[in-house]
Amino acid sequence: MKECFTLNVGGCLVKFARPQVMGILNATPDSFFVGSRCSGTGDAESRTLALLDEGADMIDVGGFSTRSGASDVNADEEYRRLAEALEGVRKAAPEAIVSVDTWRAGVARKCVEEWGVQIINDVSGGTLDPEMYSTVAGLKVAYVLMHMRGTPANMQQLTDYADVTADVIEWLARRLAELRQLGVADVIVDPGFGFAKTLEQNFRLLGELDAFRQLDAPLLAGMSRKSMIWKTLRCTPEESLNGTTVLNTVALQKGAQILRVHDVKAAVEAVSLMEMINEATQED
């Protein structure tokens, strides 16, 4: 478990000495896990307080469900949802590290300039809005570069890889180089579990997750309650907490430095227990 990384957060270089837990707050009516949904500023404020009480290091706010088959949302509606939620987040925790889950450069800019968001989490890796990279570079915020093919509507038809791990790493490496050439120094990489991947490909990526260390960038794993868990276990997203914790623990063993989760307490406990194992087995 690689523990230490740094990020420029709101103009300050922050050193993280242990894996971080990013709690999910969805300002959407149709996210696949009902427990993550918030409606309005008050609801977002309450969820933020709950996530922080459980030990969240970061809050990830989304206004556009990217699950397969989700309804399309225009930019104005996406930002309206995000603004309501971010107002609640900032009321609850003015200094919190906040990420916004959006692929639209214009929405990203408003969230940074109006609400002090420090991280942009782009599920498209810059493929859906050609202005995203230059926008992030200009704003000087951290950026989550996630692998996806196509759009959420058609991504599950685009799962043909020669070698899924090698292909995803190559794709991320090319885009990481492009971002760095533009001056984006703080890039977090995400293999994109569940996005243009079959069930078997998701597990292959997890099993080979340590190969992503070659990218020399903080590694985010986002598997919380996803179909790779509940389809395998033949249960529902609501019944997938135990499976999520198991896979998050594997991800930590293989070098994940940020866990993006619905259930913060369980993830924080996994991080703490893994740290104990590491400390107990370190050579003098």
Residues marked as catalytic: 226, 260
Q: Are 26 and 37 in contact (CB under 8 A)?
A: yes
Specify burial of residue 17 (Cβ count, 10 A radius: 0-12, 13-18, 19+).
Answer: exposed
User: Treating both helix axes as pointing N-terminal to C-terminal, what angle do 75-92 and 40-53 enclose, rounded to 10 degrees?
Assistant: 50
Compute the distance between CA of residue 76 and CA of residue 66 in angstroms, rounded to an integer: 17
Residue 193's Cβ-side half-sphere holds a number of Cα atoms within 13 Å equal to 28
Widest Cα–Cα separation across the chain? 57
Exposure string over 54-78, b if 16+ CB within 10 A, otherwise e: bebbbbbbbbbbbebeeeebebeeb
